[in-house]
Every structure is written in structure tokens, then in C-alpha cells.
Amino acid sequence: MRRLILMRHGEAVASELAPSDRLRELTTQGVAAAIRCGQEMRARGFSPELILCSDAKRAVMTMEAVVRGGSFTGIASKVLSLFYLAEPEAILGRCCEVDDAIETLLLIGHNPGWSDAATQLGKTPLNLGTAQAALLEYLGTGTWADALYDPKEWRLRSIVP
């Protein structure tokens, strides 16, 4: 079964406190919330085999906190500039390039793209808050490309935390 976790980065410092939007770091609360989200993913049986993450500092810090919280050690990850403020088509299109041996994939990025992608697949209007993740399952069979071009077979399992 294919599983997709779409996660919004944790709470970041105010934009005026960073040299650029891409370099904004997480607040202490943002780190703690991302750790809790990783713990919740693990508790619900969603353990990613691959993580694809925006290259923004707040997204990378979120990824590190989720890995720590969920004890997801040894998991491959890729930091992608194209995920910075990406649209749903770019987000889901990148999933089609994932090796089909991967069953559970975690994507970390920014709104509105992440909420829009989760809404598209989960068929429920969603607005992910900071450090929240939509846990989605594909009920059909086939490759990642098959799954992403067959949105009627996706189900939203839950939002964490």
C-alpha cells in the first residue's frame, strides 16, 4: 500500500528576524511541535522510507526534528529547491519520480501548496497548520505515477498531531 505524508514546516521566526525568507529558522515551539508530529507518525504506523524536503531552513529543521521525534534513523532524504513555495502539480509530480519500491513517502514544505495537494488527494478541504501532517493512503495498486494520476483511490487517514 502506498502512503503519502504531506507535512507543513513548523512555526518559524518572524521574517524581519532573518536575512531572507529561505533562511528563517524554527522557533523553539516549532521544533517541539515537529518532534511531536514525528512521534505521532510513528505511533500511527506511518514510518517514511524516503523524505523529500524544501530547501528552506525552516523546512530542513522540521525534517530533522521529525526524524528525531519518530526515531526515523537511517532514512534517505533529499532537499529540493523546487519544493520552496511549490504548487500541488510540482509537489505531486515529483512523487512520480520516486522509486516504486518506496511505499511510504514524507514530503515537507509550505502552504498553500501542501494543503492544496492534501485537499486534492484526500478530497477534504484542508488547511494544514504549522507542523501538521496529512496522512494519506492509496487504496489501489500500481506505481507512484499510477497512484498520483488516480486521485479517487486516495483516503485521508488523519491529520497529526
CATH of 2-8+35-54+67-160, one of 3.40.47.10, 3.30.70.580, 3.40.50.880, 3.40.50.1240: 3.40.50.1240
Q: What is the pLDDT of residues 40-99, one digit of tens each?
A: 999 999 999 999 999 999 999 999 999 999 999 899 999 999 999 999 999 999 998 999
CA distances 66 to 115, 136, 149, 150, Å, are: 19, 17, 28, 29
List the one residue out of 51, 107, 47 whose CA is nearest residue 78. Answer: 51
List the one residue out of 143, 48, 47 whose CA is nearest residue 96. Answer: 143
Query: 147 - beta bridge partners?
Result: none
Q: What residue ranges do the domains of the chain occupy?
A: 2-8+35-54+67-160
Please give the single-letter amino acid code of residue 14: A
Q: What's the confidence (pLDDT) of residue 12?
A: 97
Chain position carrying cell 486534492: 120
Rounded distance, CA 161 to CA 159, Å?
6
List the one residue out of 159, 143, 140 whose CA is nearest residue 151. Answer: 140
Q: What's the confidence (pLDDT) of residue 149?
A: 83
CB neighbour list of residue 103: distance below 8 Å, 6 or more residues apart:
1, 2, 3, 49
Question: Does the structure show a pLDDT above 80 at 124?
Answer: yes
Q: What's the confidence (pLDDT) of residue 151?
A: 72
CA angle 35, 39, 40 (to 5 degrees): 115
Rounded distance, CA 20 to CA 9, Å?
16
- Provide the pLDDT confidence category of residue 150 given band limits of 50, 70 and 90: confident
Q: What's the confidence (pLDDT) of residue 16?
A: 86
Chain position carrying cell 511510504: 104
Q: What's the confidence (pLDDT) of residue 10?
A: 98
Question: Mean pLDDT across the chain, nearest whole number?
Answer: 94
Rounded distance, CA 47 to CA 53, Å?
16
Question: Does the structure show a pLDDT above 80 at 145?
Answer: yes
Longest Cα pair distance anywhere in the chain, in angstroms?
47
Task: Tell me what the mean pLDDT of segment 16-30 comes to.
Answer: 93
Q: What's the confidence (pLDDT) of residue 142?
A: 87
- Provide the pLDDT confidence category of residue 1 given band limits of 50, 70 and 90: confident
Q: What is the pLDDT of residues 104-117, one digit of tens each?
A: 999 999 999 999 99
Does the reported pTM lie above 0.75? yes
